[in-house]
Amino acid sequence: MIRLGNMLVSPGEGGVYGERTLDGYRVWDPYRSKLAALYTLGGGVELTPEMRVLYLGAANGTTVSHVADYVETVYAVEFAPRPMQDLLEVARRRKNIVSIMADANRPDEYAPFMEAVDLLYQDVAQPNQVEIAMKNIVFLKPGGHLILMLKTRSVDVRQDPAEVLAGARAGLEQRLNIADVRWLEPYHHDHAAIVCTLRE
């Protein structure tokens, strides 16, 4: 992955969401992207040209577009119609994005379009975020990685975020090895990134 000074950048065509460019590269803003925040804080999984990625919670395609700059294929799942319109436009300009309008709670809906992936990335604001991840690891290669962006306030607004994180870790550890956990402050409040590896 490419850094110019202290800036994380990606090499694809710009103008996706009004992002800045630097020396011909797209600046990947950690305040706009939780994945960029994770990389900026020193965590994450290196994105490489041969990787296939399943992205749950693709929204408008902001982060999807940066991931697609680095990897072979991104399967981008989004449920809401309005963001899906923006995502389709992003996919039109990048031939390696497969846009899928579906509910991440129901992976059977998009299983026919899928292949085994190296990375499962999840950014879904639902109370059952861990359950969604566990349903979707069926697509993950043994030894593949899960990055779960835990939105603690979406799980339980009354519970302490640290307790929500502890519960999420316990749920994921049933099937995965946890490699790294970190809060995304100062870029995203009450969000934690959990990086896991699927057991062989």
Neighbours of 92 (CB within 10 A): 10
Q: Closest Cα to residue 87, out of 75, 104, 71?
A: 75
Q: Is 62 assigned to a binding site?
A: yes
| Residue 103 known to bind ligand | yes
Task: Tell me: is residue 111 an annotated ligand-binding position.
Answer: no
Is 126 annotated among the ligand-binding residues?
Answer: yes
Residues 198, 138, 145, CA angle at the centre, nearest 5°? 30
Burial track 142-161 (b if 16+ CB lie within 10 A, e otherwise): eebbbbbbbbbebbeeeeeb
124 is in an annotated binding site: yes
**Residue 75, both tokens:** 């399967």
Q: Are 118 and 52 in contact (CB under 8 A)?
A: yes
Q: Is 63 annotated as a binding residue?
A: yes
Is 123 a known ligand-binding residue?
A: yes
Q: Is 125 annotated as a binding residue?
A: yes
Which single residue is written with the structure tokens 């999984």? 45
List residues forming the annotated binding site for S-adenosyl-L-methionine: 62-63, 78-79, 103-104, 123-126
List residues forming the annotated binding site: 62-63, 78-79, 103-104, 123-126
